[in-house]
Structure 1
Amino acid sequence: MESGEYFESYEDIKIHRLMLEDSARNSAYKEAILNNKHEFMGKVVLDVGAGTGILSVFCAQAGAKIVYAVEASDIYKIAEEIVKENKFENIIKVIHSKVEDAVLPEKVDIIVSEWMGFYLLHESMLDSVIIARDRYLKPGGLMFPESATLYATPCSVPSMNSFWDNVNGVKMSSLGSKLRQQAHQKPLCESLDPEYILSESDTVLWIHLQDVTLEEVKYIESNHIAVARKKGKYEGICLWFSCTFPSKTTEPVELSTEPGEPITHWKQTIIVLPLSLDVEEGSPVAYSLVLKRSSENNRIYNIEVTMLDPSEVEHPEYCLCHMTKCILVRKMFEKYEIENSKK
């Protein structure tokens, strides 16, 4: 998807309807903004990728002096209508432009943006937020959200396997196999029931919006040793993310797309493996995960998962897997703790 096609895709009202029907998304932003009225009162705000303008309206409701709502697609026309409908045309200034090309008359106190894509980084709108921050945010200014974390864990993928064993009494495993090969080439976007998560999650990436750089999100590589917490089929890697909003007076608001949390339009991203492996409780699962910008289109990331041999990679210092070396290390730690407790 080229840059022009990317912005044109957001002219489709159905996309905005999908986002506006995401109550978890909307509620998190509204709560984070309105719970911090003291931060917005009389302040200048920039809304990057304003869309229909809902976040800009939240900021105006919180008492912002002026909100620059920057939107590159033609949906800006609807944003203008919504601003008038809510009687904030004297506060919210809709600017039809890419934020990279926009010229604001002043620096801003706060930047608000819903920039997250599937598996957090898809579409790379984070780039626009970073550029806006470097150009327009005053020293000590706030970012909403303030941080974001990408997680990964091994999982089962029932839609790619067990379902096709019995479709109204008909075996269709051959079709399931072809779908699996197809899904191996392109990640799935599905809501995964927590029962299909095989282990505790690992952090792939943590972003602090105040200081993250463009270079830091071009290429992400992480190696993981996960320990199965139950018996199951290891068929894929599930990715999800969470975002945290700043707050000095109340508990920070978190927007999470973890399985089991209220379903969002992002759902979860699942990288399907070319084969299925049976794992037992305590089995170690080793894999390498790489996210890198496409050389053909910098708004897209290529995701690579490499299955590793658990016996050939280094395990965490206190690994809970059932491999002999890890059991011995745990016993040694337990003995040390017992001896220390007696002193």
Structure 2
Amino acid sequence: MSTSIQGYSIFGYGDMITDRYRIDPYIQALKAAIKPGAVVLDIGTGTGFFAVLACQFGARKVYAIEPDDAISIAKQVAIDNHCADKIEFIQALSTQIDLPEQVDVIISDLRGVIPLHQYHLAAITDARQRFLKPGGVQIPLQDTIWAALVCDPEYYHKKYLSPWADAPHGCILTANRQFVTNIWHRHRIEPAQLLVEPQVWTTLDYTTDLEPNVKATRTWTIDRSGTVHGIGMWFDALLAEGIGFSNAPDRPECIYGNAWMPLTEPVDLAPGDRVSVTLQANLIGEDYLWSWQTQVTAGADPQHVKADFKQSTFFGEPRSPQSLQQQSDSYVPTINESGKVALTILNSMTAGKSLGDISQALTQQFPHRFATVAKALSYAVGLTQKYS
């Protein structure tokens, strides 16, 4: 129930488990998939909820994978539910492990607000290729992502105009708008706020090999007047044949919410106007870079471009000339003191030294930074946990 490199809080796990609109279909799909004696892989087990249910439904063995320290709670949960002997907990990313056998069922929920989230697609593809028996069952099977134009003046003003365009207390803050209008948010969209019929942006079929990057253009012809403030996105989940759920605006609200991507400026639309939106998601490093390009042309005069916006989360973060220079392929980096500290720790790990020895070395080499062994140890633990 978590794939994130930065894990959920315990309250977050609780919110996911108590979201009946989401959890009930998952339980139904899991119960239908597990046959007596089945072997199950639970990717992102969190605090062990699905792993325990799998045992209760008849699984012989469950491999429960979770990179977060919440796995320590999952082990106690398994003991409390008298199934610890059937569950093998592994604290790692699923892509970094091997299993001694293939499995009959893979269950996961590695999504964020929408399914394109961190290493979700890579993890699912890898697990299916390496761990799933021929004819085995995957949960979920498919996610369909939708997009639509949204009118929400109140939310737009709150997030993207005030305080940036309202000069609060006489202070002009308009320079911030170029950044905030390139940041998307989790925001509940109401059905009445949709200006057009939603269109499918993409379908993710988890039974096939999926590329992490997605790009598609969708175009709407407007049939009624209104003002568009942003683009809304959500998904329909197919967990098993006939079993699923949706976080669409016309369905009960669930834990995921909706994705909301603002336009640079609101645009007044008239019947006959055409709105073309190119949505693109590229996995870069540990997360996705999102881009959305919106062009509005007048119905009466297709050559008349009413709006042409090019937005991206890349532009949502201020970058100084110095930081941009440091990202150039011609830049020659030099190691700073933090880098030297990290290098000392990594070299010590390679040499097989203990944390105590590493901490002593840090206090000797960087005495102005680590006044005590305890401070050095605290720093070393944080880095060694990431790379050990």
Would you say same fold, with TM above 0.5? Answer: yes
CA contact (8 A) 1:236 1:271 kept: yes
What is the DSSP-based 3-state SS (H/G/I as helix, E as strand, rest coil) of the residue aligned with 2:76?
helix
CA contact (8 A) 1:161 1:173 kept: no
Q: Which has the higher contact order (CA 8 A, sep 6+)?
A: 1
Q: Which residue of structure 1 aligns with residue 17 of structure 2?
A: 20
Q: Letter of the aligned partner of 2:22 in structure 1?
A: R
* Greater Rg over alpha carbons, structure: 2
Separation (CA, whole Å) in 1 of partners of 2:18 and 2:183: 26
Q: Which residue of structure 2 aligns with residue 51 of structure 1?
A: 46
How far is 1:122 from its partner? 2.0
How many residue pairs match? The answer is: 295
Q: Please report the RMSD computed on the Cα atoms of aligned residues, expressed in angstroms.
A: 2.9
TM-score by length of 2: 0.69
CA contact (8 A) 1:40 1:59 kept: no
Separation (CA, whole Å) in 2 of partners of 1:210 and 1:6: 22
What is the DSSP-based 3-state SS (H/G/I as helix, E as strand, rest coil) of the residue aligned with 2:77?
helix
Separation (CA, whole Å) in 2 of partners of 1:203 and 1:77: 40
Q: Letter of the aligned partner of 1:253 in structure 2?
A: I
Q: Which residue of structure 2 aligns with residue 116 of structure 1?
A: 111
Question: Which residues of 2 match residues 85-164 of structure 1 at below 5 A?
Answer: 85-161=80-156
How far is 1:163 from its partner? 5.8
Q: Which residue, out of 235, 246, 252, partners 2:240?
A: 246
Unaligned 5+ runs, structure 1? 312-321, 326-343
Stretch of structure 1 that moved more, 12-21 or 133-142: 12-21
What is the DSSP-based 3-state SS (H/G/I as helix, E as strand, rest coil) of the residue aligned with 1:106?
coil
CA contact (8 A) 2:45 2:64 kept: yes
Relative distance call for 1:220 and 1:11 in structure 2 (3 A) is: closer
How far is 1:12 from its partner? 3.2
What is the DSSP-based 3-state SS (H/G/I as helix, E as strand, rest coil) of the residue aligned with 1:275?
strand
Relative distance call for 1:98 and 1:172 in structure 2 (3 A) is: closer
TM-score by length of 1: 0.77
Q: Which residue, out of 216, 222, 230, partners 1:236?
A: 230
Stretch of structure 1 that moved more, 155-164 or 52-61: 155-164
Residue 288 (structure 2) pairs with residue 301 (structure 1):
yes
Relative distance call for 1:60 and 1:282 in structure 2 (3 A) is: farther
How far is 1:91 from its partner? 2.3
Q: Which residue of structure 2 aligns with residue 277 of structure 1?
A: 267
Residue 218 (structure 2) pairs with residue 224 (structure 1):
yes
Q: Which residue, out of 245, 248, 268, partners 2:258?
A: 268
What is the DSSP-based 3-state SS (H/G/I as helix, E as strand, rest coil) of the residue aligned with 2:240?
coil
Residue 59 (structure 2) pairs with residue 64 (structure 1):
yes
Unaligned 5+ runs, structure 2? 303-388
- Residues 288-310 of structure 1 deviation map (CA, whole Å, 9 limit, x = unaligned): 1111122xx2x311111111244
Relative distance call for 1:156 and 1:309 in structure 2 (3 A) is: closer
How far is 1:40 from its partner? 3.2
Q: Which residue, out of 156, 167, 174, partners 2:166?
A: 174
Q: Which residue of structure 2 aligns with residue 201 of structure 1?
A: 198
- State the identity as a percent: 25
Runs (4 or more) in structure 1 with deviation over 6 Å come to 322-325
What is the DSSP-based 3-state SS (H/G/I as helix, E as strand, rest coil) of the residue aligned with 1:122?
coil
Q: Letter of the aligned partner of 2:293 in structure 1?
A: T
How far is 1:113 from its partner? 0.4
Separation (CA, whole Å) in 2 of partners of 1:291 and 1:185: 14
Separation (CA, whole Å) in 2 of partners of 1:101 and 1:163: 43
Relative distance call for 1:17 and 1:158 in structure 2 (3 A) is: farther
Separation (CA, whole Å) in 2 of partners of 1:49 and 1:158: 38
